[in-house]
């Protein structure tokens, strides 16, 4: 649900992301959690979190399930796309499983 006093703002970003306002609630390492992501999306922005906020792929998978019980709106997952992220393949598979509408990467070749 968007804010009751504000009309949605139509931009290329809102059309692409499926949100009401051109606002991304930043994917903050060790700060963004299920509640923040879902509430940001529920209020018309695009909630986002880094996959590595959850210490294992199993916890990440459970977190996305929790987000999806809290909102039906789009949300974003930030994948760290470099050799230091040994979980990239597992996290990408989890994002695909949950059909996260938007995924940001840190490498132009890996922008979904």
Strand order in the sheet with 24-25: 24-25, 46-50, 75-79, 102-105
pLDDT for 51 equals 94
3-state secondary structure of 107: coil
pLDDT the model gives residue 63: 98
Full 3-state SS string of 14-82: HHHHCCCCCCEECCCCCCCCHHHHHHHHHCCCEEEEEHHHCCCHHHHHHHHHHHHHHCCCCEEEEECCC
Could you give the CA distance from residue 10 to residue 44 in angstroms, rounded to a whole number? 12
Q: What is the pLDDT of residue 55?
A: 96
Instruction: Say what angle helices 57-70 and 34-42 make with each other, to 10 degrees.
Output: 30
Q: What is the mean pLDDT of the chain?
A: 89
Measured from the Cβ of residue 94, the count of other Cβ atoms closer than 10 Å reads 22
Q: What's the rounded mean pLDDT across residues 32-36?
A: 97
What pTM, to 2 d.p., does this model score?
0.86
Tens of pLDDT, residue by residue over 78-89, are 988 878 889 999
Q: Is it the case that residue 21 has pLDDT exceeding 90?
A: yes
34-58 mean pLDDT: 96
Which stretch of DSSP H or E encloses residue 1?
none
């Amino acid at each position: 649900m968007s804010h009751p006093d504000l009309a949605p703002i139509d931009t290329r970003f809102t059309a692409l992301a499926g949100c009401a306002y051109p606002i991304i609630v930043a994917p903050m390492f060790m700060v963004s959690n299920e509640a923040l992501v879902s509430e940001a999306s529920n209020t018309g922005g695009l909630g986002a979190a880094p996959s590595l906020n959850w210490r294992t792929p199993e916890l990440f998978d459970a977190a996305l399930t929790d987000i999806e019980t809290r909102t039906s709106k789009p949300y974003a997952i930030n994948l760290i796309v470099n050799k230091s992220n040994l979980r990239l393949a597992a996290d990408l598979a989890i994002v695909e499983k949950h059909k996260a509408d938007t995924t940001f990467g840190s490498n132009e070749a890996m922008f979904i």
